[in-house]
Homo-oligomer: A and B are copies of this chain.
Amino acid sequence: MTDLCGSERRDMFKAAAMELACQYGYEGATIKRIAQKCGVTVGTIYHYFENKEELFREALRERTFTTVLKKLIGEIEEKPIDEGLFQVATGFVGFLRERRNLISILVSEGLHNGEFGSLFADIVRQNTELMKSYFDRKIAAGELAPIDSRIAVQMFFGHFFTAYLHKERMQMEHLPPLDEAFVRGSIALLLHSWRQP
């Protein structure tokens, strides 16, 4: 419709695909629907992408949290640990929100689509490694106790990921909102002993 160059067109299709898949699932995001949403006909989409899977693969690969995380870790290196974790957590949740479609598809399709599954695994591995080495540096520096950093990373991301999924993607109304208080509270919980000293 509007005047767009080729690459912008591709982006438009990818965005529409993500949005529809988030709403209806991968199967529900039909090429026809994607085309309609973009005001073109099915053939056009195949002019830009080999097939449906390529369209999605490319869209999903596009931007991952890893890029953001690298930058964040660079910025927080010198800050106190609770501030550092706060910033990463906030960035993570913000990313999940911004790329909400991506997340939905990776989770729901990753469970039974090999291609998407390994894409998801890749992303998780990269993030895990970055964060683990941050933890390890903090342990070496004596800021953190000698905890099992591998598990710690899983706990950190796992918590915020699940919280986001449950609260914002599945609208579980009994759960607290994912606001700053929640993030700060969560980090406090991690850093402090649960046990009464």
Beta-carbon contacts of A173-190 to B below 8 Å, as 1s and 0s?
Answer: 111100000100110111
Q: In the bound complex, do residue B186 and residue A155 qualify as a contact, i.e. CB atoms below 8 Å apart? A: yes
| Complex-state Cα separation, A129 to B111, whole angstroms | 28
Query: Is there a chain B Cβ closer than 8 Å to A83's Cβ?
Result: no
Assess whether A159 is interfacial by the CB under 8 Å rule. Answer: yes
Each complex incorporates copies of this chain amounting to: 4
A110 at the interface (CB under 8 A from B): yes
Q: How far is the CB of A187 from chain B (nearest CB, A)?
A: 9
Q: What residues of chain A have their CB less than 8 Å away from a CB belonging to chain B?
A: 22-25, 27-28, 81, 104, 107-113, 117, 120-121, 124-125, 128-129, 142-145, 147-148, 150-152, 154-155, 157-159, 161-163, 166, 169-176, 182, 185-186, 188-197
